[in-house]
Chains A and B, each alone.
Chain A
């Protein structure tokens, strides 16, 4: 049993916020671009429920399926969902018309969430517990940040993306690596006053090392990825990890310029946008690496074969 990605879709329904928006807190377009590589990002309206955004990302995939009843599990990954009880996975399942026998649950591993969700979904598929699994990341990071904080406000963004996982005879097995260090929790955390504290220098240093190490692991174990997508945290981090991926001989996706950092959603959003742009073949092997609050890090390599024309 070897599972892989067989479809992907995205949703970025918010308002486009360009760098000029931050002039009110003393930041210029040049300053933001130099430190983050970001030119614009999408922010959701305050009143938009995240479950609806997740459903918007998942719906095209369900529509394209011959047998949606084969979806046995739905993993909704989010670090910015503000409602604790109930979680949103059950609502998303209802909105996209899944039956009552679906194993639907929320997952939070901050910016590493998609990698962890993907590993979980692939494991369910390969164990025969579900014929199809949907993994959806949905984030409204604009609701977590202090919008007057010069360090974090221009970085974070909102959006959603989902992948469908299925077992296919032509797929090689997935490979994963993961780790965590709770002693580093202070590097990135919510502040009591509303907002996110970010130790920028430490996070930059550790993110580059962890994501590069994870990428190396994926190349040393299992079939080599044909494309690498790293958590789109910051353009400068991506440049560093990209240089490392270049050493490994594969393209490294950087779509941060007009997306920003959507936490757990960055990897599937960037992957989908690159596929949509025709920059990647419709089949190959994805290597995804991430680093985030916790601290948590990890990577997964997985075969993919997605529809040639998918409604991104």
Chain B
């Protein structure tokens, strides 16, 4: 796991644990619908990843993600563009 991927995973896990402190890294692969996240949580996650990586994403794209993995792929790509 690269440094960027690790920071993304940490940010996502922190967001998950705001809702359920028992969740762990294995839960990052679960569908969003199975987690206790609402639509505003996903906006907050988007904003937190932007802040962590100092990039600007497009919420219209991330709003439709069904898996947290998709956030990781999307933001790794954004961060890699520099």
A-to-B contact residues, CB < 8 Å:
34-35, 200-202, 204-205, 208, 236, 240
Which residues from chain B contact A200 at a C-beta distance below 8 Å?
39-40
User: How far apart sit A221 and B69, CA to CA, in the bound complex (Å)?
Assistant: 42
User: How far apart sit A208 and B59, CA to CA, in the bound complex (Å)?
Assistant: 13
By CB atoms of chain A within 10 A, which of B40, B42, B63 has the most? B40
Asked if residues B38 and A35 are in contact (CB atoms below 8 Å), the reply is yes
B-to-A contact residues, CB < 8 Å:
38-40, 42-44, 46-47, 59-60, 63
Known contacts A34-B38, A208-B47; 6 further A-B pairs (Cβ under 8 A): A201-B40, A201-B42, A201-B43, A202-B60, A205-B43, A205-B46
- Least CB distance, B40 to chain A, in whole angstroms: 5
Name which residue of chain A comes closest to B63, CB basis: A201
Asked if residues B39 and A205 are in contact (CB atoms below 8 Å), the reply is no
- Least CB distance, B61 to chain A, in whole angstroms: 12
User: How far apart sit A69 and B46, CA to CA, in the bound complex (Å)?
Assistant: 53
User: How far apart sit A35 and B42, CA to CA, in the bound complex (Å)?
Assistant: 12
User: How far apart sit A34 and B63, CA to CA, in the bound complex (Å)?
Assistant: 19
Say whether chain A's binding surface is mostly helix, strand, loop, or mixed.
helix
17 CB-based A-B contacts, threshold 8 Å:
A34-B38, A35-B38, A35-B40, A200-B39, A201-B39, A201-B40, A201-B59, A201-B63, A202-B60, A204-B40, A205-B43, A205-B46, A205-B59, A208-B47, A236-B40, A236-B44, A240-B47
By CB atoms of chain B within 10 A, which of A34, A205, A236, A240 has the most? A205
- Least CB distance, A64 to chain B, in whole angstroms: 41
- Least CB distance, A170 to chain B, in whole angstroms: 40
Q: How many A-B residue pairs have CB under 8 A?
A: 25
Asked if residues A202 and B39 are in contact (CB atoms below 8 Å), the reply is no
Which residues from chain B contact A204 at a C-beta distance below 8 Å?
40, 43
User: How far apart sit A125 and B60, CA to CA, in the bound complex (Å)?
Assistant: 43
8 tightest A-B contacts by CB? A204-B43, A236-B40, A205-B43, A201-B63, A201-B43, A205-B59, A201-B39, A204-B40
User: How far apart sit A24 and B38, CA to CA, in the bound complex (Å)?
Assistant: 21
Asked if residues A205 and B47 are in contact (CB atoms below 8 Å), the reply is yes
User: How far apart sit A93 and B70, CA to CA, in the bound complex (Å)?
Assistant: 57
User: How far apart sit A35 and B43, CA to CA, in the bound complex (Å)?
Assistant: 12
Which residues from chain B contact A236 at a C-beta distance below 8 Å?
40, 44
Name which residue of chain B comes closest to A202, CB basis: B59
- Least CB distance, B1 to chain A, in whole angstroms: 28
- Least CB distance, B49 to chain A, in whole angstroms: 12
Which residues from chain A contact B42 at a C-beta distance below 8 Å?
201
Name which residue of chain A comes closest to B60, CB basis: A202
- Least CB distance, B48 to chain A, in whole angstroms: 10
- Least CB distance, B79 to chain A, in whole angstroms: 19
Which residues from chain A contact B59 at a C-beta distance below 8 Å?
201-202, 205
- Least CB distance, B30 to chain A, in whole angstroms: 20
- Least CB distance, A118 to chain B, in whole angstroms: 29
